[in-house]
Structure 1
Amino acid sequence: MRLDPAETAALAADAVECLLPEAASPYLLIAEHAGSKVPAPWRDLGLAEPYLATHFAVDLGIDALTRRLSQHLQAPAVVAHYSRLFLDYNRPVEEWDHMRPDLGGIPVPGNLDPSDNDRRLRRQVGWAPLEQAIAEGVPGRRALVSIHSFTPVMGGVRRNVDIGILWREPSPFVSAVLRTTQNNGKAAGLVVGDNEPYDWRQAVGYTLNRHGLQLGLPSIYLEVRNDLLTEPDRLDQVSRILEDSLSEVAKTLWPDHAVAV
C-alpha cells in the first residue's frame, strides 16, 4: 500500500478528536476504543460491515458516555475514531492484539500478515495522532481516566459487576474513586467492582502506564457493562453516577482546582 503525504496527513487528522482541550478540570478523559472506523485504504480489513459494529471492533457506548462526562465535568477528553481492529492504541506494539488477527476464531483478513510498510502506515495515521493528543493533554492535570466498556458475558461466564474501577498502583485518588463510586452505585442498585471485571495488575494497559503512572499521575481505567449504555435512561444513570463521583473526588482532593458543579 502506498499513500501520498497529503492522504497520510488527512487520515491522521481524522484519527482523533479533542474535546474541551482548554478546560480547567483536574482530569484528562481518554477513550481509546470509542471509534469503529477503518481508514478507507484498508477496505474494512476485509471484514463484512456488521463485524465493525461488535465489541471486537469498538467499546460499545463509550463515545456517547465520554462526550457526556466531558461536557458535564467540563473536562478535556481525547476520543479515538479508528477501530481497535485497525490498531489498538492501548496495547504495546509487541502484543498480539495490537493488530488483532481474529474475532474469537473469525479471521480478520487485513490483519493476518500485515507487511512492515502496512504497520508503519497504521502507526502514522492511527497511533501517532493519539499519542500526540494525549501527551499534549496531560500537562496540568491531576489524574487520568481512561473509559471503556465490557461485555456482560465472557467465555460463558456472567460478569457480576456493572461498573469496574481498574487500578495498578494504589493512591488516595484510587481509594477515593472506589469508595465514592461504590457508594453512589449502591444507591442506584449497581455493583461497582474493585479491579473487576479485569485486574489491571494482571493485564496490559499501555495508555495509562505510558502517560499516567510513568509520569507520577494517578490513573484508572473505568469499565462499564456495555448493555447499560444502549438505552438512554441507563446511559443517563451511569453517566450521572460517574459525574457525581468524579466531581466529589476532585473537590475533596484538589479543592484549589476548578471543577464542574
Structure 2
Amino acid sequence: MTGLLTEADGSPVAVENLEALSPVLLVCEHASRRLPEKMGSLGLSEDALKSHIAWDPGALAVSQLLVKSLDAALIYQRFSRLIYDCNRPPEAEAAMPPVSEVFEIPGNASISAAERLARTDALYVPFRDQLSNFITTRKAAGRQPVLITMHTFTPVYHGKQRDVEIGILHDVDSRLADAILAAAGGTSAYVVRRNEPYGPADGVTHTLIQHGLKNGLLNVMIEIRNDLVSNEIGQKVMADYLTGILGESLTALSQ
C-alpha cells in the first residue's frame, strides 16, 4: 500500500496563525472524521463514522475560537484518527485501532506491516514534523512555545455516564495543569478535574511527551465533554471560559 493520500485528499496537516504573537501552540490531533479516498469507509456505517470513535466533535471549533481570543497558533490533523491516531506512536496498536469502544473496525483488522508503515508515513510523520519544525523555529527565535492539545470526550462510555465536564491532563510535568486547575477553582462554571476521564496510564500523553516534555515546554491536554460543545453557542461559551483560565494561568506562571 503506497501513496495513501491522493491529490484530491490534500495535505494531512493544517496550520493556522503560525505567526501568532502568543506563545500558545494549540494542537488538535482528532480534529476531523474525514477518511482518505483510498480507504473507503473502513467497513463502518455512516453513523459510526460520524460518532466520537472517528474524531473529537467540537474540538477543532473550540480551538479555532481560541486561535482568535489568545492569538495562538494551531496545528491539526485533517484525517480521522481511525486511519492513524496522531496522539499515539507508530508501535502502539491504538495508533490504528482494530476496535474502538464497542465498534469493531473491519478496515483496521489484520493490517500488514507495509500498510501500517504507509499510514504512518502519510499521516503521522508529516504531523510530527510540522509540530517539531514549529517548536524548533520558535525556540531558535528565543520564543518558548506553550503546548496545549485540545480534545473532547463522549458523555457516556461503555454505558457509564461521565460527570466530569473538563479534564486537565498532564504527564510528569504538571506546572501548567496546576495553574489551570487553580484558576478553574475560582469558578463553578464547570466540573473540572485532574487527569479525568483519562490519564497518563491510558497512553494519551504521547504528544505532550514527544513535543512538550522533550523540549522542556509548558504543556497540558484539555479534554471537554462533547455535549457541551455540540453547537456554536456551547463552543463560544467554552472558548470564553478557557480563554479566561488559560490567560490567568499563563500570567501566574510568568511571574
Report the TM-score when normalising by structure 2: 0.90
Whichever residue aligns with residue 147 of structure 2, its letter is L
The separation in 1 between residues aligned to 2:233 and 2:148, in whole angstroms, is 23
Structure 1 spans left out of the alignment, 5+ residues? 256-261
1:87 to 84, 89, 99: 84
Structure 2 spans left out of the alignment, 5+ residues? none
CA deviation map 1:7-31 (0-9, x unaligned): 8584785211111001121211100
Partner of 2:178: 175
The separation in 2 between residues aligned to 1:100 and 1:155, in whole angstroms, is 17
CA deviation map 1:19-63 (0-9, x unaligned): 100112121110001111111011122323322111001011111
The separation in 1 between residues aligned to 2:8 and 2:245, in whole angstroms, is 36
Partner of 1:259: none
Pairing 1:162–2:165 present: yes
Whichever residue aligns with residue 44 of structure 1, its letter is S
- Pick which of 241-250 and 74-83 moved more: 241-250
| 2:168 counterpart SS class | strand
Partner of 1:146: 149
Partner of 1:247: 247
Whichever residue aligns with residue 161 of structure 1, its letter is V
The separation in 1 between residues aligned to 2:195 and 2:68, in whole angstroms, is 27
The separation in 1 between residues aligned to 2:193 and 2:14, in whole angstroms, is 30
The answer to whether the Cα contact below 8 Å between 1:163 and 1:191 also exists between their aligned partners in 2 is: yes
The separation in 2 between residues aligned to 1:11 and 1:222, in whole angstroms, is 32
The answer to whether the Cα contact below 8 Å between 1:100 and 1:111 also exists between their aligned partners in 2 is: yes
Report the alpha carbon displacement of residue 68 of structure 1 after superposing the two structures with TM.
Answer: 0.6
CA deviation map 1:115-165 (0-9, x unaligned): 222222211221111111111222333421100001112223221211110
Aligned CA-pair RMSD: 2.0
Pairing 1:117–2:120 present: no
The separation in 2 between residues aligned to 1:43 and 1:54, in whole angstroms, is 17
The answer to whether the Cα contact below 8 Å between 2:84 and 2:95 also exists between their aligned partners in 1 is: yes
Whichever residue aligns with residue 98 of structure 1, its letter is A
Residue identity over aligned pairs, in percent, reads 33
Report the alpha carbon displacement of residue 91 of structure 1 after superposing the two structures with TM.
Answer: 1.3
How many residue pairs get aligned? The number is 249
The separation in 2 between residues aligned to 1:204 and 1:103, in whole angstroms, is 14
**Pairing 1:187-206 to 2, within 5 Å after superposition:** 188=189, 190-200=190-200, 203-206=203-206
The answer to whether the Cα contact below 8 Å between 2:5 and 2:37 also exists between their aligned partners in 1 is: no
The separation in 1 between residues aligned to 2:174 and 2:109, in whole angstroms, is 41
- Pick which of 107-116 and 217-226 moved more: 107-116
CA deviation map 1:41-94 (0-9, x unaligned): 111223233221110010111111111111111100111111010001111222
| 1:87 counterpart SS class | coil
For residues 167 and 2 of structure 1, do their structure 2 counterparts lie closer, same or farther at Cα, with a shift above 3 Å needed? closer
Report the alpha carbon displacement of residue 106 of structure 1 after superposing the two structures with TM.
Answer: 3.3
Report the alpha carbon displacement of residue 234 of structure 1 after superposing the two structures with TM.
Answer: 1.9
